[in-house]
Amino acid sequence: MSKQTDDLFKNIVSHAKEYGFVFQSSEIYDGLSAVYDYGQLGAELKNNLKTYWWKSMVQLNENIVGIDSAIFMHPTIWKASGHVDGFNDPMIDNKDSKKRYRADQLIEDKIDRYEKDGKSDKAAQLQQDLDDALNADDLPRLKTIIEEHNIVCPVSGTKNWTEVRQFNLMFATQMGAMADGAEQVYLRPETAQGIFVNFLNVQKTGRMKIPFGIAQIGKAFRNEVIARQFIMRMREFEQMELQFFVRPGTELEWYEKWKETRLKWHLALGSNPAKYRYHDHVKLAHYANAAVDIEYDFPFGFKEVEGIHSRTDFDLKQHQEFSKKKMQYFDPEINQNYIPYVVETSVGLDRLFLTVFANSLVHEDLSTEEKQDSRVVLKFHPAIAPVKAAIFPLTKKDGLPEKAREIMNKLKLDFNMQYDEKDAIGKRYRRQDAIGTPYCITVDHQTLEDNTVTIRHRDSMEQERVAIDQLRTIIGDLVSWNNLLDQLQ
Ligand code: GAP
């Protein structure tokens, strides 16, 4: 990261903490690595992002329903899905610093360094060697590459490495009180399997006809070898996943459709299109016949936010084999039984939070010839802003606070509101700008005479005078989910 992008990222992290969006977990005990808590405003923003996703999937599509499956599942599920045997990262330890690294990431960092030093040929060759070694699951080759390219431990500076070993990313725990009879279970590493194993339950009870989808939002857990970049790579995180079940042979058409739909969904939030790109997978997982990532240009480069995979019938077939229960669907249109094919969309809620945060945080220079001025604004789309409107009495006397409270008591039935009477109005505006509140309402002496207030718009900073009894409609229209969902139709 260059100094400038490093500063940009540090600003995002410190702003998120300073204004109550994201805290390090267990901070008073010096934190827990790669685990984070969402604060009072972060929880609101996260809930709004979930609502946007849920409405766009479940409310807008007659053929998509949502479920909420348990985090604990039968351990054989993870055998069937391939996670017990194959959900691994190659890790390596430095014997001097005792630090553990992902072998492939150490090599990727070296590729970045070659690129930065203008050694593009070397970078390309190393990338090819890395891909070949990973494709062949050749762990000794990864170690040789690390040695050949003189990759040293960033902490100790030495090349005193252990062998490269596979490290399974699932967290395991015991279920049941008796040590002897306890069963090893896993904290789910993805929410998708909870959908697959409920496929027939939902299809039958909901009388769903193919093509149809099952959506789910929930926690997932991965014991990442190294976790870095704030909420990008966490050990406990949240996913929003859709499994869309289709007739075999139609999956690539649906894959293209979902690829387009999902990018549109991200862009509707008002993000700069130049910040997004598709990254098609060249090397496909054994169960996929097409896969793409939607990547966002973070201060540390383009990184995956969402994955769209055409997963064939792999998962349902595996569950049919391991559970010995038929996972078939009878298609009345063609009079045939088959195991459906699946197109999956999977977005990490925390990564989405970070894209929205990075995309919205703006430092604006407001200096005029007379004076220097600036502000920090979170330009969230009004529908997802944690606080929809703030209300300020101009002064703390003359009945203005009472009038402001009276207005707030009505508006809070519809909107998340904040009341603030401290400091000058300008300072109060700045406080709301910094947390992304789209509208500020000021109650002044004129309000007491004619029942009007001023409403100030966060982005334009323009103010207009409106009647109090219009506020609910005005704010309601501005923050409505329609403004987002309409763009997806
Ligand atoms: N069911 C498919 C699946 O889980 P994945 O690419 O491993 O696919 C999907 O994960 C999404 O989950 C990613 O695009 C990312 O946004 C998010 N994600 C994965 N691992 C994560 C982690 N350790 N921390 C935060 N988000 C993560």
Q: What is the pLDDT of residue 287?
A: 87
Residue 38: which H helix or E strand, with range?
A: strand 36-38
Q: Are 214 and 198 in contact (CB under 8 A)?
A: yes
Q: Please list, in sequence order, all residues whose beta carbon lies within 8 angstroms of the beta carbon of residue 104, skipping any fewer than 6 positions away.
A: 89, 90, 130, 134, 142
Distance CA 34, CA 188 (A): 17
Say if residue 300 carries a ligand binding annotation.
no
Distance CA 360, CA 378 (A): 5
Please, which contacts does 280-284 make with residues 24 or more away whose CB atoms are closer than 8 Å? 283/131, 283/134, 283/135
The CA 241 to ligand 1 mean position distance, Å, reads 10
Residue 213: which H helix or E strand, with range?
A: strand 212-221
Distance CA 315, CA 207 (A): 21
Distance CA 189, CA 365 (A): 44
Distance CA 5, CA 77 (A): 42
3-state secondary structure of 354: helix
- Ligand 1 site residues, Cβ closer than 6 angstroms: 190, 192, 222, 224, 233-234, 237, 239, 241, 304-307, 344, 346-348, 350-351
The CA 383 to ligand 1 mean position distance, Å, reads 25
Q: Are 170 and 189 in contact (CB under 8 A)?
A: yes
Q: Please list, in sequence order, all residues whose beta carbon lies within 8 angstroms of the beta carbon of residue 406, skipping any fewer than 6 positions away.
A: none
Say if residue 239 carries a ligand binding annotation.
yes
Helix/strand/coil percentages in the chain, nearest 5: 40, 25, 35
Q: What is the pLDDT of residue 179?
A: 62
Distance CA 192, CA 309 (A): 12
Distance CA 272, CA 250 (A): 32
Distance CA 156, CA 164 (A): 18
Q: What is the pLDDT of residue 125?
A: 94
The CA 348 to ligand 1 mean position distance, Å, reads 5
Q: What is the pLDDT of residue 135?
A: 82
Going along the chain from its start, the domains and CATH numbers come out as: 57-87+170-357 (3.30.930.10), 88-168 (3.30.40.230), 368-488 (3.40.50.800)
Q: What does the DSSP 8-state code read for residue 161? A: B
Q: Ligand 1 pocket check: which of 77, 265, 346, 352 to mutate, most ligand atoms within 8 Å of Cβ?
A: 346
Residues in the chain with pLDDT values less than 70: 1-2, 178-181
Per-residue pLDDT of 395-451, as tens digits, reads 999 999 999 999 999 999 999 999 999 999 999 999 999 999 999 999 999 999 999
Structure tokens at 319: 């569950």
Residue 129: which H helix or E strand, with range?
A: helix 120-135
CA-nearest residue for atom 26, ligand 1, is 348
Q: How far is CA 183 from the centre of its chain?
A: 32
Q: Are 133 and 103 in contact (CB under 8 A)?
A: no
CA-nearest residue for atom 12, ligand 1, is 348
Q: What is the pLDDT of residue 180?
A: 66
Distance CA 21, CA 19 (A): 6
Q: Ligand 1 pocket check: which of 237, 318, 355 to mutate, most ligand atoms within 8 Å of Cβ?
A: 237
Residue type for position 12: I
The CA 264 to ligand 1 mean position distance, Å, reads 20
Q: Are 38 and 25 in contact (CB under 8 A)?
A: no
